[in-house]
Amino acid sequence: MSGKKKADLKVIILGDYDVGKTSLICRYIDGKFQTQEPTVGAAFFLKQWGPYNVAVWDTAGDERYSGLSHFYCRSAGAAILAFDLNSPKTFESLWARFGSILEAANEDCLKVVVGTKLDLLNQSERDITAEEGKKLARELNEHLDLKKLPHEPYFETSSLNNQNVKEVFEYIFQHCLPLSADQQKRYNTTDRKSVIDLMEDSGEHSRKKKCC
Amino acid sequence: MSIKAFELVSAIERVKLMSDKAKTQIECLDVCGKNMYIGTSDCFVVHYSIEEKVQPNGRVTFVTEKQGHKFLVVKKPIAQLRAASALNRIMVLCDNTLTLLNMFDLEPIVTGAKIKGVVCFCINENPIRTNPFSVEICVALKKKIIQLYTVTEDRLIHLRDVSVPEQALTLGVDGVCVCAALTSGYCMIDMDSGHITDLFPIDSEQTHPVIKRISKEEFLLSGPSALGIFATTAGVSQRPPMQWSDGLSAVCFVHPYILAMNDEFITVHSILDQQQKQAIPFQGGVFLGDFDGRIFVASSREIYSLVPIPFEKQIQALLADKRVGEALDLARNANKTGMTRDKFLKMFKRIQQQAGFIEFSRQQFEEASQLFKESAMDVREVICLYPHYLPTNVNFTRSVPPLHEIADINQLSKSDESIKAAYKEFLRTFLEDIRGTNLAHGYKREVDVALLKLYAESTPEKLTELISVDTGCDLEDCVEWLEKHQRLHALGLLYQRHGESDKALGVWARLVDSKTNDPSFPGLEFVVTFLSSLADHELLWKYVDWVLEKDEELGVRVFTDRPANEAQSERLRPETVVDYLHRFPRAVITYLEYLIFQRKLEKEKYHTHLAVLYLEAVLKLMETNNVKKEELDIARSKLRHMLQISNLYRVQLILGKAKEKDMHAECAILYGKLEEHEKALRILVHKLKDYGGAENYCQVNSQGKEPGYRKRLFHILLSVYLDSSYERRDTLVAPAMALLNSSVADFDTIKVLQLLPESWSVGLLSQFLTRAIRMSMHNCRMTRLQRMMARGENLLIKQTFIEMQRDAIIMNDERVCAVCNRAFNDPSFVRYPNGIVTHVHCAKNKYICPVSGKLFSAGRR
């Protein structure tokens, strides 16, 4: 039923198997952390951002779904490229696999590189430096004027400890669907109360249904 | 998660095919109205009539009868078969050739129109052209070309074609967009521009490609790993994929369910949440299709229909499993099944109500409240779950069939007090929410009584507002309830609200007497306020005693604070009240003050009574020792004030007592009242030495009298000052001088001069004399001025008079009265200043002209 409403922005999350893509989204949408079953194909979440609807598409990291990911990327306004901070392999596959998948996305697609599982990272023994991550982020977004962004599209997050998760999404939403300070203030109060959002949402739905 | 959405019903049990050869197998079928066409593996097309019958018990059965058959000579299986009822044709794909047959006799059409090298075809259900007597189809050729045709009764008209990189295995079409499964993956083809958008790759060896048009511009495709993937004509997905089982062979869709078939099962998914809802075992299925909302499935030799279970049944099953969200989702989508709007709304409301009770029983109060409100629930249904909360005389039976299986909240809470409290809290907020809204319309009493009971139990502070503002609470069992919970003040208010003032007062009296602690009760003052506006005076008298005994000063307000517009009543006549109040000295004073100063009653009796009471109070204070001076002063000044402003009391009576007690100030006032000014002034000057007071006395007592009176008073005062018989008259020289020079005093100068002792020097008196001369001069001049002005005025009037009389009026026989038009018989007549002449008796008003109505002022012009 979510598909009925035309979303104002499509955000897709890509990345290798088991880097924590679904966990990242669940932490943001539901506000809690729980272990996830492997995603089959793709999954879909709807998020209110001010007056807008944002569709967040979660993809399966498994390589056999590569073809599908390509399809689900179509007309995405922003992409989150997730990798496991503790696994250089997952970082490399961002270069290798997912760069090309995003060709199907919008031309001005914002690509945000996000390192996950920060809680497991031993800072003294890290293989992928933040500099490397930022470098990738810059390269992927060569088509955009990065000066307009508050900082490079690179984040290091932990879904378990809820570090930087909200920031990633709001960074994207604010870039793609800027809200004025006033709007932000107005909507931020209800930001965390997802209960209210859902109620409003369903209320709107039922009204819509009755009309047709 | 399971739900029974469909039921498998046999349609044609064993197809009695033309040849009873064992090999004959069903390949494909189409249903069009009451016609069913079956294509077999051995190249037969068989025509059945099929009719749906609904048994009285709700079961659906099918009656079929074979109509005919046709053998197509190529001996290849019939690959695809579609009926086009608009053209009376069926389209048959056999041996890679698409041909048309007559729908009824199954004979090939005369023109022999056909397309060769066809892999598959499909009908465009959203055609570009709107000619109702044509059908658009899309055809995939072996030559890696996709073509659009318009089919008419006897012709196949080629529209356009697009080359594709690989051979298409199956097709879907919507408008100008064709969705095709090529050997390596799906693509979306715009037939207008020829543009091809790749969707996603599949391994057609492993995955059987399926394309099912779901709605306008949306297809459902079978993807890798048995995923069902939605794709729009724009090449994007708007719904998450769904998980099917392996070996999928066919898919069909009847809103909101997607049915998918593999070798062993037919699975049912909901398009609303992409979850599997039902799995129907079905072995060896070869064909599955939806035909105008009817679903038919075929194994190699048998045909069944999947009959949808009515929505209501499905929803009831969900509700029975307490799957509220799913039930509501399904219900919301039920109006797409052709139900009328009214029926739908009725059904939906009922489901919401049931769902509400389920949430209620799970203590999901927010959801329950929302559902109750949205479904416009009869509020009594909710209240009746709380034992004793409905008014006892309400004859309410729960709706049949029941909306729920809840007995009452005791059952739900299993006697756990905290849960019970939560339920009551819910009821309270719910009723508060709906109070005064449409939802409570007609049930005001039920709602208010329930609220009253809840408040009485837990939140007594809200009772007052509930009862006093437009309440629907009746007396019946509220009284008992309030008594039980000791909410006596609320009980009193309730009685008052219902006009039972006697009972209300009884309750309040009980409350005051018993000292029971009801924090909401404002105390005796409240009762007094109530009594003071009570219209029933008989009842009032019943409680007056009690109130006055409690508190005299407060109690008397019953009489003094009456509403201004109250009708006079025999029972509240001042005499009656004064007589009654004798027992209460302070109350009687307050009441008399009220009568005299506020009501301004001019009755000697009250004035004297009050004066005497004041006097008594003063005397009493004088007699008691250790009385503070201020207290006495206040009492005396009250008395003096009274004596001064009132003229109605019996002066002699008071004077006698005042003299007795040497109350000089009072005596002075009293003498003043008796016009014995000399006595009064002597007291003021000699006894009290209050010279200012004496001067003031002269002024006060001469107010409103003629100037001579004032002069006389001041003269008396002066003579008192200069009284030679007074032994200490030296002390009075200074006040006498001050009086003479005072600007307020007024004298007859000559008399003063006669009175003044010889010995006083002119220097001493110069100020007074100068003033006196000036005054005299001034008076003289003023008088002259007035005289001259009067004379001038007199002259002016004389002039006017002469002017008016100067003109002669000739009276003769022709002259008639301006009013009655008759001749004048008398010598006397009336002439108005504007020249109108009338009879004397016709001139009714000498200031108003009888003809023109002109007004002549009595004075000057």
Q: Given this model, what pLDDT does residue B251 score?
A: 92
B471: which residues sit within 8 A by CB, 6+ positions away?
A: B448, B452, B494, B497
ipTM of the complex: 0.77
Query: Considering only CB atoms, which chain B residues are within 8 Å of A74?
Result: 235-237
Write out chain A residues lying below 8 Å of B236, CB-based: 10, 74-75
C-alpha A52 chain-centroid distance: 16
Given a cut of 90, is residue B784 above it in pLDDT? yes
**Which of B307, B237, B310 lies closest to B274, judged by CA?**
B237
Q: What is the mean pLDDT of chain B?
A: 82
pLDDT at B596: 78
Please determine, for residue B120, whether its predicted confidence score (pLDDT) is greater than 90: yes
Q: Is the pLDDT of residue B340 over 70?
A: yes
pLDDT score of A194: 40
Lowest mean pLDDT among A3-7, A130-134, B628-632, B781-785: A3-7
List Cβ neighbours of A185 (8 Å cut-off, separation of 6 or more): none
Report pLDDT digits (tens) over B757-775.
Answer: 777 888 888 888 888 888 8
| Mean pLDDT calculated for residue range B199-207 | 84
Q: What is the mean pLDDT of chain A?
A: 80
pLDDT-derived band at B718, boundaries 50, 70, 90: confident
Q: What is the DSSP letter of B23?
A: T
A19, B463, B707, B713, B754 from B750: Cα distances, Å: 126, 82, 16, 15, 6
Predicted confidence at residue B178, as pLDDT, reads 92
Residues of A in contact with B231 (CB under 8 A): 71
**Count of C-beta atoms within a 10 Å radius of residue A203:** 12
Could you say which of A41, A74, A75 has the minimum Cβ distance to residue B241?
Answer: A41
Tell me what pLDDT residue A210 has: 47
Examine the pLDDT at B697 and tell me if it is beyond 50.
yes
Question: In the predicted model, is pLDDT for residue B786 greater than 90?
Answer: yes
Which contiguous run of DSSP H or E holds residue B615? helix B604-623
Q: Which of chain B's residues have a Cβ under 8 Å away from the Cβ of A72?
A: 237
Min Cα–Cα distance to chain B from A12, Å: 12
Check CB contact under 8 Å for B240 and A42.
yes
Residue A4 has pLDDT above 60, yes or no: no
Interface contact flag, B237 A42, Cβ < 8 Å:
yes
To the nearest whole angstrom, how far is the Cα of B199 from the nearest Cα of chain A?
5
Separation in Å, CA of B463 to nearest CA in chain A? 32
Query: In this predicted structure, what is the pLDDT of residue A2?
Result: 39
Cα-based distances in Å from B57 to A31, A67, B8, B28, B604: 50, 51, 16, 32, 99
Stretch B688-694: mean pLDDT: 78
* Residue of B229, B240, B243 with shortest CB distance to A44: B240
Residue type, B609: H
Residue B535 pLDDT > 80, yes or no?
no
What's the mean pLDDT in B143-149?
A: 91
CA distance A25 to chain B (A): 15
Distance, in Å, from the CA atom of B72 to the CA atom of B195, rounded to the nearest integer, reads 38
List residues of B whose CB lies inside 8 A of any A CB: 185, 199-202, 223-225, 227, 229-231, 234-241, 243, 272-273, 329, 332-333, 335, 345, 370, 374
Contact (CB, 8 A) for B101 and B90: yes
Q: What's the gap in Å between the CA of A140 and the closest CA on chain B? A: 23
Contact yes or no for B347/B339 (Cβ under 8 A): yes
Question: Quick count: other Cβ atoms within 10 Å of Cβ B192?
Answer: 12
**What is the pLDDT confidence band of residue B338, given thresholds at 50, 70 and 90?**
low
Highest mean pLDDT among A54-63, B177-186, B645-654: B177-186
**pLDDT tens digits, one per residue of B253-271:** 988 889 999 888 899 998 8
Of all residues in chain B, the percent with pLDDT exceeding 90 is 13
Bridge partners (DSSP) listed for residue B305: B9, B296
Higher pLDDT, B794 or B656: B794
pLDDT in tens, A131-160: 888 888 888 888 887 777 888 889 999 999
pLDDT higher than 70, residue B215: yes
Closest approach of chain B CAs to the CA of A26, in angstroms? 16
Do residue B236 and residue A74 have CB atoms under 8 angstroms apart? yes
Of A71, A206, A210, the CB nearest to B200: A71
pLDDT above 70: percentage of residues in chain B: 96
> Using one digit for the tens of pLDDT, what is the confidence trace for B450-464?
888 888 777 777 777
SS3 state of residue B147: strand
pTM value is 0.58
Contact state of B229 with A74 under an 8 Å Cβ cutoff: no
**Interchain pair B227, A68: CB under 8 A:** yes
Shortest distance between the Cα of B114 and any Cα of chain A, in A, equals 37
- Measured between alpha carbons, how far is residue B623 from residues A76, B610, B632 in Å? 104, 20, 11
Q: How confident is the model at residue B516 (pLDDT cuts 50, 70, 90)?
A: low
- CB contact under 8 Å between B224 and A65, yes or no, is yes
Helix, strand, coil fractions of chain A, as percent rounded to 5: 45, 20, 35
Question: d(Cα A59, Cα A44) in Å, to the nearest integer?
Answer: 9
Residues of chain A contacting residue B223, judged by C-beta atoms under 8 Å apart: 41, 68
B789 pLDDT above the threshold of 90: yes
The radius of gyration computed from the CA coordinates of chain B, to the nearest angstrom, equals 57
Q: How confident is the model at residue B742 (pLDDT cuts 50, 70, 90)?
A: confident
> Which 8-state DSSP code applies to residue B409?
H
Q: Which of A68, A74, A206 sits opposite B229 (nearest CB)?
A: A68
pLDDT over threshold 60, residue A201: no
Residue B397 pLDDT exceeds 50: yes
Cβ contacts of A75 on chain B, cutoff 8 Å: 234, 236
Percent of chain A with pLDDT over 90: 12
Is residue B121 over pLDDT 90? yes
Question: Which of B721-732 are b and which e, b meaning 16 or more Cβ less than 10 Å from the residue's Cβ?
Answer: bbeeeeeeeeeb
Question: Looking at residue B745, what is its pLDDT?
Answer: 75
pLDDT tens per residue across span A104-114: 788 888 899 99
Token reading at B156: 């196949």
Of B489 and A52, the structure prediction assigns the larger pLDDT to A52
Q: Residue B363: exposed, middle, or buried by beta-carbon count in 10 A (0-12, 13-18, 19+)?
A: middle
Tens of pLDDT, residues B819-847: 888 888 888 888 888 888 888 888 888 88
A67/B333 CB distance under 8 A:
no
pLDDT at A200: 45
* B58-62, B349-353, B471-475: range with lowest mean pLDDT: B471-475
Contact B239 A74 (CB under 8 A): no
From B96-110, B300-314, B560-574, the region with the lowest mean pLDDT: B560-574
Q: Is the bond into B391 cis (omega within 30 degrees of 0)?
A: no
- pLDDT confidence band for B592 (50 / 70 / 90): confident
Q: What is the mean pLDDT of residues B677-696?
A: 78
> What are the angstrom distances between the C-alpha of B861 and each of B426, B560, B794, B834?
86, 55, 14, 12
Instruction: Label residue B795 by pLDDT band (50, 70, 90).
Output: very high
Query: d(Cα A46, Cα B732) in Å, to the nearest integer?
Result: 106
Overall average pLDDT of the A29-36 stretch: 85
Are the CB atoms for A36 and A160 separated by under 8 Å?
A: no
